[in-house]
């Protein structure tokens, strides 16, 4: 059973027919589609109602977090509480394309507290802010953490592993030295798979959940186990963290 713990079906819909995308992923146990703000969160909920394997993660991407008022962010948090999402995401820090890092931190803290309150995993973005992100997660006692597309160094990776965090390895592991290093560093019991679709495609077309098969093959090769063994391990990791009903 395959899992994609971080995709964006609402963004992928601009490139591909989602009915076909879901059909291509018929071997999947779950596809967790992540919201990036109020409008996106509502689309995510609609997909989760339409397709049984699609699970909703609701959140606030850093670029939205710095544009919305405190009142608007709190209103969205209250909305999320009422919807009982599968996870909180996508949330986090971005020191690459988004300004106002201190504002981003304040918003991330709110979502860490929300994930803890709801007792569900939090799916975290940390681009060019890996150390700051881990510090915030640790200080605010984040309980169930998935580090999405983590690009931190060996020391930061080991620190996150000690804290019990999981790492979702993107499909671009087939091309990226950074993610191959990450796959080698992370123990098997902390690895999950993701696409970040429509981004980070291993093929010459927009990414989609079915392409997880490409990364399974590469990660298995790096870990020196069979693809079948890796699939079972990742599925168990998914069940242990997300505890699907």
Residue-wise pLDDT for 38-76, tens only, equals 999 999 999 999 999 999 999 999 999 999 999 999 999
User: Number of helices (H) and strands (E), helices first, in the chain?
Assistant: 11, 8
Say how far apart CA 71 and CA 225 lie, in whole Å: 50
Flag residues of the chain having pLDDT under 70. Answer: none
High-pLDDT (> 90) share of the chain, %: 99
- CA torsion 69-145-94-37 (nearest 10°) is -40
For 64-89, letters b (16+ CB in 10 Å) and e give: bbbebeeeebeebbeebeeeebbbbb
Q: How far from 122 is each of 82, 105, 137, 232, CA to CA, in Å?
A: 17, 15, 10, 23
Range of the domain at 216: 2-242
Residues in the chain: 245
Number of domains, the chain: 1
Q: In the block, which residue shows the tokens 């927009």? A: 206
- Three-state DSSP state, 145: strand
Model pLDDT, residue 232: 98
CATH of residue 138's domain is: 3.20.20.140
């Amino acid at each position: 059973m395959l899992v994609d713990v971080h995709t964006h079906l609402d963004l992928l819909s601009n490139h591909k027919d989602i009915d076909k995308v879901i059909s291509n992923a018929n071997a999947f146990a779950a596809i967790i589609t992540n919201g990036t703000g109020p409008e996106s969160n509502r689309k995510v909920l609609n997909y989760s109602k339409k397709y049984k394997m699609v699970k909703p993660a609701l959140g606030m991407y850093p670029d939205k977090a710095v544009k919305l008022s405190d009142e608007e962010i709190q209103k969205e948090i209250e909305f999320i509480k009422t919807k009982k999402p599968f996870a909180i995401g996508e949330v986090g820090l971005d020191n690459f394309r988004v300004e106002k890092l201190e504002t981003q931190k304040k918003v991330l803290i709110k979502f860490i507290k929300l994930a803890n309150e709801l007792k569900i995993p939090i799916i975290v973005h940390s681009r060019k802010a890996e150390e700051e992100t881990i510090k915030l997660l640790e200080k605010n006692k984040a309980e169930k953490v998935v580090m999405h597309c983590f690009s931190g160094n060996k020391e930061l990776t080991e620190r996150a592993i000690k804290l019990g965090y999981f790492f979702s390895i993107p499909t671009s592991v087939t091309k990226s030295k950074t993610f191959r290093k990450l796959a080698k560093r992370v123990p098997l019991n902390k690895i999950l798979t993701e696409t970040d679709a429509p981004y980070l495609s291993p093929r010459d077309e927009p990414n989609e959940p079915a392409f997880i098969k490409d990364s399974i093959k590469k990660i298995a090769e790096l870990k020196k186990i069979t693809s079948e063994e890796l699939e079972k391990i990742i599925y168990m990791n998914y069940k242990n963290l997300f505890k699907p009903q």
